[in-house]
Amino acid sequence: MHGLRQCLLILDTIHGKNSTGMRSLKRNRHHFERIRCSRQVFAAVDTAEQKTKHLEIRMNFEFQNPTRLIFGAGSLFRIGEAASRLGKKALLVTGGGSVKRSGVFDRTVATLKAAGVSIAECSGIEPNPRITSVVRGAEIARQEACDMVIALGGGSTMDASKVIAAAVLYDGNPWDMILHGQEKWHIPSEALPLITIPTLAATGSEMNNGAVITNEETKVKSFLVADCLFPRIAIVDPELTVSVPKDQTAFGVCDLITHVTEAYCNGIDGTPLQDRFAEGVILAAMEWGPKAIADGNDLEARTQVQWAALVALNGWVHAGTNPMYPVHMLEHTVSAYHDVTHAAGLAVINPAWMRFAARANSAKFVQFAERVFGLKAKSTTDLDCALEGIDRFEAFLRAIGCPTRFSELGIGSELFETYAKDTLKIIHDADGKLPGRPAMSEADIVEVFKAAV
């Protein structure tokens, strides 16, 4: 059972998580196939004919998301009551100061105090949060004997908070928990209880069990996925996002769309409902994102975008698709070198990657072109139509203010091979390729980067 659980953990949910390093991902996928077969066999398959039939069933997965979600404008006031259920003293983690400028910090602290919860503060979490901040946060939490962590901020603050919550209970170096090509990946099994309060609609970190952390010294940005990182409670109040500037709002829209296109374009075939979920998220983001960008105080638009961002990566859209995340893996490496805003990097890499992937999987991109952009294909594998859909997608990203070329990020082509090698050091399948559909060799990765200069 342990092997089964590990394998499901690896392949089922967000960020292509893995327990023994991604090196053996392809082998694990085969292992998963075998497990799926045996699970069907448990369901009383007698004959070879029946067995074959069961082998054709593609969707077979486990799903769990234990986070209690409190959603809606004005819901920040629930923080006191929520926190008092979990403990008496919270480490309150924040970013570079936006929550102090907006008054959200003071409101949060006052509500906590009124509920009898005191705080220790860990401020200054940087975008692309660093492992040094995690170490600092864990030290404060230990010294102050905090019994819970509250993340008040964007994805960076939430991710740092997750790893802090686990690091407090881990005697080793917190970097052991981030996959970076090490021999033994320490996946934590315990963490302090965590409450997330997102102030930016983008990552979905508020209701998932992933975190992305940067090691500035070694130039690695990578992830940890562990069940103990699921927040106990997520208080998602779209009012907190009205102060997000236009560019960060647009990046959030790009990020959330990319989360579902990773599943949509890299997942297995035969997941029609998941496709519809993904298309729904994309269409909602394309409808409401521009409204939130045009008028940051449009609370209805903020609400719809925040809901889309949450749904895009809480596991639901991805369930059963066995997704891989090549675009994210590539962006993380570029970010590690240049500290670019996560979704600005995605906006550059995703369209270029899609054009590459459409050659191998044109049917999915034709479906994307038809259902998302209303194009009419000549056939189910009409590559021209697929490419036209990708052009429209790129045009949407440009229209909302995202960069779509490396030059706009001030990044040249000098280190393309290095990014490719570094990414493959963190994650590769049995053939040495980046998992995805199709799996990518070092040369493929460089080709995609070159298409986005």
Q: Can you give the binding site for ligand NZQ, defined by CB under 6 A?
A: 95-99, 102, 127-128, 153-157, 159, 199-200, 202-205, 208, 210-212, 240-241, 243-244, 248, 255, 313, 328, 342
Tokens for 144, please give them. Answer: 């102050």
Nearer to ligand NZQ, 312 or 377 (CB): 312
Helices (H) and strands (E) in the chain — how many of each? 17, 8
Minimum Å gap between C-beta 314 and ligand NZQ is: 9
- DSSP structural state of residue 97: S
Our CB check for Zn ion shows the closer of 174 and 345 to be: 345
Least Å distance between CB 339 and ligand NZQ? 10
Residue whose Cβ sits closest to ligand NZQ: 154
* Beta carbon of residue 183, minimum distance to Zn ion (angstroms, whole number): 28
d(C-alpha 147, C-alpha 193), whole Å: 7
* 71 phi, psi to nearest 5 deg: -120, 140
- Cα 450 to Cα 453: distance, rounded to the nearest angstrom: 5
To ligand NZQ, the closest distance from the beta carbon of 18 in angstroms equals 15
Q: How far is CA 92 from CA 43, 219, 260, 448, in A?
A: 48, 28, 30, 41
Phi and psi, residue 211, nearest 5°: -150, 145
- Stated as kind and residue range, the H or E segment containing 225 is strand 220-225
- Cβ nearer to ligand NZQ, comparing 155 with 389: 155
Compute the least distance from the CB of residue 102 to ligand NZQ, in Å. Answer: 6
Give the one entry of ligand NZQ, Zn ion, none that residue 293 binds, where binding means its C-beta sits below a cut-off of 5 to 8 angstroms depending on kind.
none
User: Encoding tokens for residue 39?
Assistant: 């699970």
Burial of 180 (0-12, 13-18, 19+ CB in 10 A): buried
Least distance from C-beta 312 to ligand NZQ, angstroms? 9
- Token pair 């992305």 is found at 212
With CB atoms as reference, the residue minimizing the distance to Zn ion is: 255
The one of Zn ion, ligand NZQ, none whose footprint includes residue 153, by CB under 5 to 8 A per kind, is: ligand NZQ
**Between 330 and 366, CB nearer to Zn ion:** 330
Query: Smallest distance, Å, CB 231 to Zn ion?
Result: 17
267 binds, among Zn ion, ligand NZQ, none (CB under 5 to 8 A by kind): none
CA distances from 100 to 2, 82, 105, 141, 240 (A): 45, 21, 5, 21, 12
Contact of residue 200 among Zn ion, ligand NZQ, none (CB under 5-8 Å per partner type): ligand NZQ
Tokens of 325: 């995340």
Contact status: 429 vs Zn ion (CB under 5 A) = no
Q: Among Zn ion, ligand NZQ, none, what binds residue 28 when CB lies within 5 to 8 Å by partner kind? A: none
Give the number of residues in contact with Zn ion, rule: CB under 5 A.
Answer: 1
Pick what 313 binds: Zn ion, ligand NZQ, none; C-beta below 5 to 8 Å, kind-dependent.
ligand NZQ
Q: Smallest gap, in angstroms, from Cβ of residue 125 to ligand NZQ?
A: 7
Which residues lie closer than 8 Å to 271 by C-beta, 6 or more apart?
58, 59, 320, 321
125 versus 168: smaller Cβ distance to Zn ion: 125
CA pair distance 131, 156, nearest whole angstrom:
11
95 binds, options Zn ion, ligand NZQ, none, Cβ within 5 to 8 A by partner type: ligand NZQ
- Residue placing its CB nearer to ligand NZQ in the complex, 153 or 193: 153
Residue with tokens 């480490």: 91
Task: Show the 3-state SS of 59-71.
Answer: CCCCCCCCCEEEE
d(CA 255, CA 338): 18
Q: Quick one: 111 or 123, whose CB is closer to ligand NZQ?
A: 123
Tokens of 102: 């907006």
Nearer to Zn ion, 253 or 358 (CB): 253
CB of 159 to ligand NZQ, least distance (A): 5
> What is the residue type of 306?
Q
- Residue 46 makes CB contacts below 8 A (sequence gap 6+) with none
Give which of 210, 211, 207 is closest to 232, Cα–Cα.
207
The residue type of 124 is: G
Residues 231-270 close enough to bind Zn ion by CB under 5 A: 255
d(CA 25, CA 147) in angstroms, rounded, equals: 37
The interface partner of residue 248, options being ligand NZQ, Zn ion, none and the CB cut-off 5 to 8 Å by kind, is ligand NZQ
Binds 205, which of ligand NZQ, Zn ion, none (CB < 5 to 8 A, cut-off by type)? Answer: ligand NZQ
Closest approach, Cβ 280 to Zn ion, in A, equals 19
Would you say 243 or 441 has its CB closer to ligand NZQ?
Answer: 243
Residue (108 or 205) nearer to Zn ion, CB: 205
Could you list the residues that contact Zn ion (CB under 5 A)?
255
